[in-house]
Amino acid sequence: LKLTERQFVEKLRRAARRRMGASTRRGLHLRQGIGDDCAVLSGAGKYDLLITTDLMLEGVHFRREWQQADSLGHKVLARGLSDIAAMGGIPRHAFLSLALPRGTDFRWVDQFFAGLFRLAESNGVTLAGGDTAASMSGVVADIVVIGEAPRRKAILRSGARPGDEIWVTGVLGGAAAGLDLLRQGKRIARRTQTLRPLFYPQPRLSIGRWLSRRGLASAMMDLSDGLSIDLARLCQASGVGACIDADAIPRLRRTPLEYALHGGEDFELLFTVSARRAGKIPTQVEGARLTRIGQIQRGRRLRLIRAGREEVLPVLGFEHF
């Protein structure tokens, strides 16, 4: 009997909830547990604590022959920062656990950390700890990022309501287009611009904060596994359906629609805005465009309007197992 990732997470969420003791009601208590981009811990202070973890495995999430060490260090941290951005939070500290195969070149390790520290510094994040081990097969990198949001202001996946508009930041499908080039075995050096979204994604921290400060987003998450599957997750958390317009989905010229719909690792933000507040969303914020792509609806169905016709939105993003 095979378990999908969604079933696995749901099982774990229920088990964790059953075992949550009364002790958690005092001191730091869990406001949002399994099932969002970050866990949210609330205490007595003015800020809630945001915590996210992300695991990257060689051969599953990346290939060392395709990706330079500094890009990998960048990306490990970027994935965590993107989850903090998805809550409208500010990242503060990171913890990295790294397992390396015996005999890994020290220059590879130096470059890995150069990439990680460059992104950390530009976002005011410190590396506060972690662990190391020898790996029996391939590089394993696990990042924990701790951030903060003003008390009760973290933007959850569960706040979308029928009638809300659906928006995304930036353009979608860029990382999938880069991956496609690598799969075709094209020369990498000449294609750095095309590979940038895949190798050096920029987490949308300032836009997340901008939306949070103004209280504009009713729900938000980052796009890590693909628009179709991530929209399905947001809708499931909110108990709603959605309809999106294929023509509205922002992508670069020559990026196939399928990449923008189902390609992973764009690390853009997907958010919803009540119809009443939608007029306050500009088309450009902090150097990135914001695009309305559809609307939240009653029920649970996900629909796509393509060439004037309405069809069921296929949910085909990256499932981990």
Stretch that binds Mg ion, among 173-181, 191-199, 219-227, 261-269 (CB under 5 A): 219-227
User: Which backbone phi and psi does 94 adopt, to 5 degrees?
Assistant: -125, 150
Residue that is written with structure tokens 């628009």 in the block: 227
Provide the token pair at 169. 């930041």
Q: Where are the beta strands (DSSP E) in 35-135?
A: 39-42, 47-57, 90-101, 126-135
- DSSP letters spanning 188-241: SGGGHHHHHHHHS----HHHHHHHHHTT--SEEEE-SS-HHHHHHHHHHHHT-E
Contact between residue 302 and residue 312 where contact means Cβ atoms under 8 Å apart: yes
- Closer residue to Mg ion, CB minimum distance, 87 or 293: 87
- Closer residue to Mg ion, CB minimum distance, 182 or 203: 203
Q: How many CA atoms lie within 13 A of 200 on its CB side?
A: 14
CB of 107 vs Mg ion, minimal distance in Å: 32
- Closer residue to Mg ion, CB minimum distance, 246 or 270: 270
Residue 222 within binding range of Mg ion, rule CB under 5 A: yes
CB of 24 vs Mg ion, minimal distance in Å: 23
CB of 102 vs Mg ion, minimal distance in Å: 33
How many chain residues interact with Mg ion (CB under 5 A)? 4
Stretch that binds Mg ion, among 30-38, 66-74, 150-158, 194-202 (CB under 5 A): 30-38
> Interaction with Mg ion in 132-161: which residues (CB under 5 A)?
none
Q: Which residue has the closest beta carbon to Mg ion?
A: 37
Among residues 48, 58, 70, 83, the one that binds Mg ion under rule CB under 5 A: 83
Element (H, E) at 84: helix 69-85
Among residues 32, 36, 37, 211, the one that binds Mg ion under rule CB under 5 A: 37
- Closer residue to Mg ion, CB minimum distance, 70 or 83: 83
- DSSP letters spanning 265-288: ----EEEEE-TTTGGG--SEETTE
Residue 36 within binding range of Mg ion, rule CB under 5 A: no
The footprint of Mg ion (CB under 5 A) covers 37, 83, 222, 224
